[in-house]
Structure 1
Amino acid sequence: MSSSEVHLRSTIGGVSVEGQLHTLSVWFILALRLMMGLAFLQAGLSKLLGGEFNAAGYLANQPASNGSPLADLFVAMSEMPLFMEFVNVAVPWGQLCIGLGLLVGCLTRLAAFWGAFMMVLFYFGNWDVAHGYINGDFAYMLVFLSVAAFGAGRILGLDATIEQYDVGGQPLVERYPWTRYLLG
């Protein structure tokens, strides 16, 4: 293995996979983080600045019209006023916060998790399998998961600094190992 490659190995459920990444991969991981950050920042800002955002019409109509297997769930959600008040705040502000977190590399794994969660909901809401089950929403979900898995917030991001913050003589992530699920 040359000095410009990194060896990876992982085992899940008794199945192991391994491979080598070239160190140039770090630039692509950074690019994925910044791309998704900008996309979500723009989506959140457009909803917040475009007038009053209301997801009820989308939830009540779009999934039912496209044959989504979760259409009944989406319709039920659209009929709960308290839930809709939450969604109408959570979607634009969530997109904005996810975008900002990814752009500056702060709480990157947390932001990527919620981004992936939103993309799963968009995948089922925008259901269209005419050209197969893989579409842009599904691909973006995988990008978010990749950003989290690779710890993209440590690449020119604030997470690298936050992880090393001194807490009682120890770096934050050593003192509180659970923070690794939020940072990185």
Structure 2
Amino acid sequence: MAAQEIRLKSTVGGFTANGRLHSLSVWFILALRLMMGIAFFQSGIDKVLSGSFSAAGYLQNAPPSNGSPVADLFVAMGQTPWFVDFVNIAVPWGELFIGLGLLFGAFSRLAAFWGAFMMLMFYLGNWSVSHGYINGDFAYMLVFLSVAAFGAGRIMGLDAYIEQYEVGGTPLIERYPWMRYLLG
């Protein structure tokens, strides 16, 4: 079977980018989704099962010690008891559900958005620019955004089926177009 070429074109802020994808690119997009799914699922399940995750020390100490430009924000978060309680639940369970969403390709854009948000927070909290502004946290954030942009949940994932689920004889994604922001 001959490989196909897929053309892309996007204009943002008056700038247009053109490109061509090889049909084998789909496997790499799937690999990125699964890689991040495994990483987040494993991280989340470890925290949930240990039952001892606490963000307070990290929030109050890590960002100031590494020179984060938003250290004061992290310290304030770490000194707010209700917020620490929220983070102590949101991080482990968020990682777990983001991981599951990506592994099964269900609500992939939603999972990837929250994964990118978490990686942005980790990037700012784990601030280290001694080797440049691009580190693993930043790179993972871009991987999450790529997974969302490519609609990776449609590639051997449940999103392809969820989108076509009929509601009143109309596919879900046609009846509720806003669902495109959650699925794919």
TM-score for the superposition, normalised by structure 2: 0.98
Task: Quote the offset at 1:168 in angstroms.
Answer: 1.2
Are 2:39 and 1:56 equivalent residues in the alignment? no
Q: Could you give the per-residue CA deviations for residues 126-171 of structure 1, whole angstroms, max 9, x where no partner exists?
A: 0000000000000000000000000000000000000000011111
Identify which range, 43-52 or 32-41, moves more after superposition: 43-52
Task: Quote the offset at 1:3 in angstroms.
Answer: 5.9
Aligned to 1:172: 172
1:111 maps to a residue whose letter is: A
Counterpart CA distance in 2 for 1:77 and 1:13 is 35
Task: Quote the offset at 1:51 in angstroms.
Answer: 3.1
Q: Could you give the per-residue CA deviations for residues 91-123 of structure 1, whole angstroms, max 9, x where no partner exists?
A: 000000000000000000000000000000000
Counterpart CA distance in 1 for 2:70 and 2:54 is 20
Counterpart CA distance in 2 for 1:51 and 1:21 is 44
What RMSD in Å do the two structures reach over aligned CA positions? 0.9
TM-score for the superposition, normalised by structure 1: 0.98
Does the 8 Å CA contact 2:3/2:22 hold for their aligned counterparts? no
Aligned to 2:123: 123
Aligned to 1:145: 145
Listed as ranges, the matches of 1:12-161 within 5 Å are 12-161=12-161
Counterpart CA distance in 1 for 2:134 and 2:40 is 20
* Matched residues, number: 183
Counterpart CA distance in 1 for 2:20 and 2:66 is 41
1:56 maps to a residue whose letter is: A
Counterpart CA distance in 1 for 2:131 and 2:40 is 25
Aligned to 2:4: 4
Counterpart CA distance in 2 for 1:173 and 1:27 is 24
Q: Could you give the per-residue CA deviations for residues 28-73 of structure 1, whole angstroms, max 9, x where no partner exists?
A: 0000000000000000011111232100000000000000001000
Identity %: 73
Task: Quote the offset at 1:80 in angstroms.
Answer: 0.5
